Amino acid sequence: MKSKLILLLVLALPITIFSQGAYKKPPKEIMDVLDAPASPTTTVSPGRDKIAILEPLRYPPIAELAQLMLRLAGLRINPNTNGQHRQSYFVSMKLKNIADGREIAVPAATATELL
């Protein structure tokens, strides 16, 4: 009886560990809202012939919050980039010709590549 109980505990242990540890996701309907791209910001070129369409990052990955942060003279510095810790950035960029409306996608680094 006792050995059976121990066996049961040993078998149940990984289940308990894994069910507690991971981040979970809400239902698909809500995920669709969270995954929807943020409204873009735009900027016109100096020659006034192109518009840059920039998509801001809505939610950074948790890995970004976990980056090392040095507190130096009141600044939050990420020593891996020598820049600001948790700097905001855009996730995609498109250039649009004002004359004919043609769009050119500019390749961008993914959030994971940036880390």
Partner 1 sequence: MTANLPAHSDIFRAGIARSGAYNRTLTPFGFQSERRSFWEAPELYAKVSPFYYADKINEPILLIHGEADNNQGTFPMQSERLFAAISGNGGKSRLVILPLEAHGYSAKESVEHTLFEMIQWFDKYVKNAKPRGAQQPVAQ
Single residue of 8, 9, 13, 34 touching partner 1 by CB under 8 A = 34
Q: How far is the CB of 82 from partner 1 (least distance, A)?
A: 21
> Would you say 18 or 23 has its CB closer to partner 1?
23
Among 59, 80, 106, 110, binds partner 1 (CB under 8 A): 59
| 55 or 64: CB nearest partner 1 | 64
Residue with tokens 């049961």: 8
The amino acid at 103: E
Whether the Cβ atoms of residue 113 and residue 64 lie closer than 8 Å to each other: no
Least distance to partner 1, CB of residue 64, Å: 7
Identify the CA nearest to 81 among candidates 50, 115, 105, 45.
115
H/E segment holding residue 97:
strand 90-97
**Residue 23 in contact with partner 1, rule: CB under 8 A:** yes
DSSP class per residue in 20-60: HHS-----HHHHHHHHSPPPPEEEE-TTSSEEEEEEEPSS-
Nearer to partner 1, 9 or 59 (CB): 59
Toward partner 1, which CB reaches closer, 7 or 63? Answer: 63
Question: Which positions touch partner 1 (CB under 8 A)?
Answer: 23-27, 30-31, 34, 58-62, 64-66
